[in-house]
Amino acid sequence: MTTIGVEEEYLLLDPVTGLPVPLADKVRAAAGLGRLVGDQEVQCELLQAQVEVATPVCGILEEVGGHLLRLRHAVGAAAEQYGCRIAACATPPLRHGHPVAVTDQARYRAMLTQAPQLVAEQLVNGMHVHVAVPSREAGVQVLNRIRAWLPTLTAMSANSPLWDGHDTGFASWRTVISSRWPVSGMPPYFHDAADYDRRVHQLLESGLISDTGQLYWQARLSARYPTVEVRCPDVQLCADDAVMLTGIARALVDTALAEATAGAPTPDCAPELLQASMWHAARHGLSDTVLDPSGRPRRAGDVLYQLLRHVAPALDASGDSRQVTALVHRLLQSGTGADRQRAGLAEGGVHAVIDLIIARSTMP
d(CA 107, CA 46): 9
Render pLDDT for 213-244 as a digit per residue (tens, 0 to 9): 999 999 999 999 999 999 999 999 999 999 99
**CB contact at 8 A, 293 and 147:** no
- Helical (H) or strand (E) element with 358: helix 350-360
pLDDT, position 364: 77
Domains of the chain in start order, with CATH, are 4-360 (3.30.590.20)
Q: Is the pLDDT of residue 36 over 70?
A: no
pLDDT, position 221: 98
In DSSP notation, 328-343 reads HHHHHHH--HHHHHHH
Mean pLDDT of 72-90: 97
Render pLDDT for 257-277 as a digit per residue (tens, 0 to 9): 999 999 999 999 999 999 999
pLDDT, position 363: 86
Q: Mean pLDDT of all residues in the chain?
A: 95
The 8 Å CB, 24+ separation contacts for 294-300 are: 294/148, 295/270, 300/155, 300/332
* 32 band by pLDDT with thresholds 50, 70 and 90: confident
- Sign of the dihedral defined by the CA atoms of residues 342, 343, 344, 348, in that order: positive
Render pLDDT for 295-335 as a digit per residue (tens, 0 to 9): 999 999 999 999 999 999 999 999 999 999 999 999 999 99
d(CA 116, CA 163): 19
Render pLDDT for 144-196 as a digit per residue (tens, 0 to 9): 999 999 999 999 999 999 999 999 999 999 999 999 999 999 999 999 999 99
**CB contact at 8 A, 65 and 364:** yes
Strands 184-185 and 216-217: parallel
d(CA 306, CA 86): 35
Rounded to two decimals, the pTM is 0.97
d(CA 241, CA 256): 23
Render pLDDT for 84-107 as a digit per residue (tens, 0 to 9): 999 999 999 999 877 899 999 999
